[in-house]
Amino acid sequence: MKHLFRVGTRTSRLAMCQTELVVAMLRTHAPDTEFEIVPIVTQGDRDRTSSLHVIGGKGVFVKELERELEDGTIDFAAHSLKDVQPRLPDGLVIGCTPTRESPFDCLLSAAPLASIDDLPCCARVGTNSQRRQAQLLHHRPDLEIVPIRGNIDTRIRRIETERLDAIVLAEAGLNRLRPDTAGLHRLTMRDVLLPAAGQGAMAVECRADDAETLGLLARIDDAETRMAVTVERDFMRAIGGNCTLPIGAYARFADADTDASPAVLTLDAMIAVPDGSRIYRARSTARMATTGIADVSNALVDAVVRDLHAAGSPL
């Protein structure tokens, strides 16, 4: 195995943190290997004011890194999986998905909340995600959704500067980065907001023909995470990949504290209109087959897509 791997990453503090986590995991398995972190500024980082669906969706955070992979200037790149498009460029693959952090969203608020219902009438809530906006407004149509972009620290400061009652953030980012949230209160949205496909997971992307890098990355791949996010991404591909409607997808194995077999996989899916006036949900469960994840994923995705169509969703 070669002794130096070049690792591409966005320049944001969270992206650098996640890349360092991946490198630290790899070093435990390959202590004599060197890793050079290569910061790359993406379009999504350069333009922090435009709405994501206007400038190209979450894919704007990874395109430049993928070009560097294709050119051979880096060996692999660590991403937040929810930023990676359902269809990768030819010649690139996800080499590994380490163990997933929390897939859920949370509210960060100036006042303590026991539930979203404790927000005051017409509360101002900051988020730039149509998925979050639609589900919040479905539950609380009175809320005023304030578009906010920027890194986690910037969005936290907007609570004060924009006089927001709360903002919505991914729990995984808070858990990994541990920003200063003194004086603020955190409320999980686990039972309110269905996550984005891949949320909470990291994806390490590399070239499909790079056997050495693939062999290295395989050492930190988490099989359960990979199977769950495979189902979520298969669902996204099935409904058109870059669909601009608010969409959520979350696949998981049966909880350990239930009587269900741990080999049972459940997929929850959601599609909505942006104002939250209509939300369509579907759930499907399948037992893991000896033929592998592909057959299970096909069965789960086919079932939820069929149910969403039957419900009249705008797929």
The per-residue pLDDT for range 9-60, each reduced to its tens digit, is 999 899 999 999 999 999 999 999 999 999 998 665 555 555 445 444 455 7
* 54-to-23, 57, 60, 207, 270 alpha-carbon distances in Å: 33, 7, 11, 29, 22
Question: What is the mean predicted confidence (pLDDT) over 130-154?
Answer: 95
Q: Which of 83, 210, 234, 268 is catalytic?
A: 83
Residue limits of CATH 3.40.190.10 in the chain: 4-98+201-221, 105-188
pTM listed for this prediction: 0.90
| Superfamily of segment(s) 4-98+201-221 | Periplasmic binding protein-like II (3.40.190.10)
Top-level class of domain 105-188? alpha beta
Determine how many CB atoms are found less than 10 A away from the CB of residue 36. 11
Q: What percent of the chain has pLDDT over 70?
A: 90
Query: For 40-51, what is each residue's pLDDT tens digit?
Result: 986 655 555 554
d(Cα 242, Cα 239) in Å, to the nearest integer?
8
> Is 83 an annotated catalytic residue?
yes
Specify the pLDDT at position 61. Answer: 72
Q: Fold for 222-315, please state it.
A: Double Stranded RNA Binding Domain (3.30.160)
d(Cα 252, Cα 56) in Å, to the nearest integer?
29
Query: For 256-274, what is each residue's pLDDT tens digit?
Result: 445 555 589 999 999 999 9
